[in-house]
Chain A
Amino acid sequence: MKILLVEDDPTLGEAVMLAMRQAGFAVDWARDGVQAENALAGYAYDALLLDLGLPRRAGLEVLRGLRKRGATLPVMILTARDTVEDRVRGLDSGADDYLLKPFSLDELLARLRALLRRAHGKADTQIRMGRLSFDSVKRQACIGETPLVLSARELEVLEILLSHAGRVTAKEAIADRLTGWDEGVGENAVEVYIHRLRRKLNESGVSIRTLRGLGYLLEAVS
């Protein structure tokens, strides 16, 4: 994986480059817009980390030029400008993600990996959490190696919770999803399915937390 980093601040640029090298990426570092364009013309990078306020040529200009030439590599903007209009302009110009300065290097690396995964079309069919795993193609959940016996509706509830992992799933959202199965599933029915699912996930190292008035959150039990 070779990444082009475009950043004019030497301290930040150096830190980002070191962190990425340690994480196993090959990195080229361009310090202004013109260097960036030359580098992009000379090599097919896997991803671009782009600062916006650059000397000689603005970051958005570099980005627009890149997209005009039909390049599809994932681009993450690193910037200190954080108004909604700035974000919209960045994403409209063809960026895939937008990271605000100051940021933690861990977050930068996590978002970069997610970008690369998406770009390579490897949407993981396997979702794992605790000892629980779920195959979204076979529609089969397992605890460890043991297949979990779930009703179709329980499976549906588990899938929506897993797809929202790390976020709160609203009760209405689950009810909406189940309405295709039963005519008008009430929110009480959702509670019943959650209750059953909770019992079956007992040994999985995953639990469903109820957040009063908000919904449910799937979390790994340490």
Chain B
Amino acid sequence: MNEEELSLRQQLIVRMLSMMLPLFFLLWVVAYFSSLYFINAAFDRSLARRTYALADRVEVLDGQVLLDLPVAAREMLAFDQEDLLFHRITGPQGQYIEGEMEMPHLPGKGEIKSGQLVIYDGDKDGEAVRVAAFALSLKGTSAHGVALIQVGETLTRRSALAERATLAIVIPMLLMTLTAAAAIAYGVGQGLEPVRRLRDRLAARPALDLSPVPLEGTPAELRPFLDEINSLLQRLSGAVEAQSRFVSDAAHQLRTPIAGIWAQAEAAMAAARHDDKQLALQRIAHSAQNMGELVQKLLILARVDAAENTLRLVRLNGIALAREIARDWAPQALAKGVEIGFEAAGGEAQVMGDAQLLREMLANLIDNALRYGGKRITLAVDSLGQEGVVWSVSDNGPGIPEPQYAAVFAPFHRLSDGVDGAGLGLTIVQRIARLHGAEVSLGPSKMGSGLTVCVKFPPILAESQA
């Protein structure tokens, strides 16, 4: 399962257990070996004692080493409850005196100093054993050198004890871990209760309730999250409001030409003279045409809004694109007696953009200049190098007084009633520019009178150059 799909509770438990489990095994190993160490120490002491006790019974008679051991003691030397005990005694020349025939060899060179006790691990008949070896000095007797006394035992009890000691440590630890996991699971559930309440409250909201979510009764950790939701709701409610205002404005704007068409149609039907009829019909055609343009612009706006989520900007040649649009519009402009010119300065002018939207944007700028401008329009592309690229459309018409610059971007704003137009051109331009991270600004035209509209594109970032 993916980590993001786990609930908070599952994530906490998974993380805790994944940390605890290796620790748990480490503890197990450490507990086993440390208990074994202490148990070995204790058992080794008793093994040594038994070796000394056996050494006590060694006697020398006429240079012969002998063992004087009562039968009861001999039995005690051979049996234990669980472990097998065994021993061997050898004389100064290594001759066998008593006990087992085979004994694990002494560690190292197999030599041992007189009076020394060595305890070592060995192997007897395929079983691990522990052996104590004592070199008994025979000085002062009729024999020379040392007698070697070896006592051994199997390890059954040692291991059994070590295992029991380990479990005594590990089992409580395991119980503690499981208890902690359960406590976390429960605690998280309790801690998330306010989140559940918040969810219920959000789920109960009507679709268009965009008021902020109240902060009371929510834990401090959720505040930043709720603040973001509230800020999103606020922006959303602004956008919804703007949208509904726009729809109502658009409906009003459509109502006007419809009223005109209706009235003119009735006038045409009522008109007795042929000339009056013709005039009314012309006005109807004209109004219908305006309405067509308005609807076209509304559709473009809707499309620009929709493009916001699917926009894919690509590297475009800003000069070629602008020139192509200027060429497309030139014949239409000439038909109205307006000359379109084109200028490019500063060399290559690449921009990141959506060609179709940028075409729409320039078309609207030229269309505006044709409607409201003078007899000359200049489209210019200036490359500012690191500063980006500026597209500008200038005319030599009457221009716009500076105090009105801000107002003309508002939807359905028109400067004069004398000229046809939906009042959506600059709105479209600005929306498209914004999608490209570009800025639209107005200024006096360089041609003496008139207006220049500039669209400044940001420089192309290094990472998008690939």
Q: Which residues of A contact B404 (CB under 8 A)?
A: none
Query: Mask for A81-116, Cβ within 8 A of B = 1, else 0?
Result: 011100000000000000000101000000000000
Question: How big is chain B's contact interface, by range?
Answer: 20 to 34
Please name all residues of chain B whose beta carbon is closer than 8 Å to the beta carbon of A168 when the two chains form the complex: 327, 330-331
A176 to chain B, nearest CB (A): 15
Residue of B nearest to A169 (CB): B327
Q: Which residues of B326-358 have CB atoms within 8 Å of chain A's CB atoms?
A: 326-327, 330-331, 334, 339-344, 356
Number of interface residues of A (CB under 8 A): 17
Contact indicator A214/B342 (Cβ below 8 Å): yes
Q: Main secondary structure on chain B at its contact with chain A? A: helix
A164-194 to B contact mask, C-beta < 8 Å, 1/0 = 0011101000000000000000000000000
A-chain residues with CB within 8 Å of residue B379 when the two chains form the complex: 213
Q: Is the CB of A214 within 8 A of B341?
A: yes
9 more contacts with CB within 8 A, not counting A84-B356, A168-B330, are A83-B303, A167-B327, A167-B331, A168-B327, A168-B331, A211-B327, A212-B342, A213-B343, A214-B330
Residues in chain B near residue A214, CB distance under 8 A: 323, 326-327, 330, 340-342
The verdict on B292 contacting chain A, using a C-beta distance below 8 Å, is: yes
A145–B305 CA distance with the chains assembled, in angstroms? 58
Contact B331 A82 (CB under 8 A): no
Q: B residues engaging A (CB < 8 A)?
A: 288-289, 292, 299, 303, 323, 326-327, 330-331, 334, 339-344, 356, 378-379
- The answer to whether B343 touches A212 (Cβ under 8 A) is yes
Does the CB pair A213–B356 fall under 8 Å?
no
Contacts of B342 in A (CB 8 A): 211-214
Measured CA separation A213–B340 after assembly (Å): 9
Query: How far does the Cβ of B31 sit from chain A's closest Cβ, in whole Å?
Result: 72
Residue of B whose beta carbon sits closest to that of A212: B341
Q: What is the interface of chain A, defined by CB distance below 8 A to chain B?
A: 82-84, 102, 104, 166-168, 170, 209, 211-215, 217, 219
10 cross-chain CB contacts under 8 A: A104-B289, A168-B327, A168-B330, A170-B323, A211-B340, A211-B342, A212-B339, A213-B326, A213-B343, A217-B334
- Give A52 to B91 CA distance when docked, in angstroms: 120
Min CB gap B466→A, angstroms: 27
- CB within 8 Å for A209 and B334 given contacts A84-B356, A214-B341: yes
Which residue, of B323, B344, B378, has the highest number of chain A Cβ atoms within 10 A?
B323
In the complex, chain B residues whose CB is within 8 Å of the CB of A83: 303
